Structure 1
Amino acid sequence: MFIGEYQHSIDKKGRLIIPAKFREDLGESFILTKGLDNCLFVYPKDEWKVLEEKLKSLPLTRKDARAFVRFFFAGATECELDKQGRILIPSNLRQHCKLVKDAIIIGVSNRVEIWSKEEWILYNEDENLSYENIAEKMAELGI
């Protein structure tokens, strides 16, 4: 399980250090793809396979399902850590999440998310996404 929040800087070559706490659970190679909310999602291979099966089951006849599957798979790339614990983030993925210098890497249960520091701050300042508002909505759902 991935938990916690870490800050690292991306270097000029587009490399980012993955926190040591996440490296073992991610394994030797893992999948990096476009995420929702202007971030990147990082999945260990076993979690990626589970997600892949769910996405395969979406109805091909629905335009929105086809669009989501294209978005998700076209942006995906397999990553391996270098000896310093870094990954190379392709430029299209850096552009997707507006990642230029400072990154926030968070654990979200079965995946890791990579955010630009600026986007993470904006996300956390959103009134509709306050912890209290979300907790109320989850309580209404019985969670």
Structure 2
Amino acid sequence: MFMGEYRHNIDSKGRIIIPAKFREQLGLKFVITRGLDGCLFGYTADEWQKVQDEVDKLPFNKANARKFARLFLSAATECEIDKQGRVNLPEPLIKYADLIKNCVLTGVSTRFEIWNADKWDEYNEKSQDEFNEIAEDLLDF
């Protein structure tokens, strides 16, 4: 399970440090792809297979299903962590998530996300205001 929030910089070569707690779970190879809300999603190889299986179940005769599958899967890249604990992100993913310097990596259960720090702070602040209402609608503790 991925959890927590970590702040790291992306360098001019597109490399970003993956938190040690995430690295322990990721194994030798994992997948990063275009996510929702303007961030990137990262998955272990096993979790990626489950996600890909779900995408494969989408009805190919529906235009939105084809569009989603194309955008989501075409951006996916298999990643490896270097000796310094970094991963090298491809330019299209950097551009998609607007990763310039300051980034936030967040654990979200079965995946982790990589955000532009300013976008994350804005999203987080806005969502905090709605947190109680969202919880009431979705959860029954």
The answer, yes or no, to whether TM exceeds 0.5 is yes
Unaligned runs of 5+ in 1: none
Identity of aligned residues (%): 48
Give the drift of 1:136.
2.1
Shift of 1:129: 6.2
2:22 maps to which residue?
Answer: 22
What corresponds to 1:4 in structure 2? Answer: 4
Partner-residue secondary structure (3-state), 1:4: strand
Q: Which residue of 1 aligns with 2:81?
A: 81
TM-score by length of 1: 0.93
What amino acid is the match of 2:19?
P
Q: Please, which runs of 5 or more residues in structure 2 have no aligned partner?
A: none
Q: Offset of 1:128 from its aligned partner?
A: 8.4
- TM-score if structure 2 supplies the norm length? 0.95
Equivalent-residue separation in structure 2 for 1:54 and 1:86 (angstroms): 29
- In structure 2, give the amino acid aligned to 1:101: K
Q: Distance in 1 between matches of 2:128 and 2:102?
A: 25
Match of 2:112 in 1: 112
**Residue 125 of structure 1: how far off its partner (Å):** 2.5
C-alpha separation in 2, matches of 1:129 and 1:65:
32
The answer to whether the 8 Å contact 1:105/1:114 transfers is yes
Which residue type is aligned with residue 65 of structure 2?
A
| Correspondence 1:42 to 2:55 | no
Q: How many Å separate the matches in 2 of 1:33 and 1:12?
A: 20
CA shift for structure 1 position 24 = 1.5
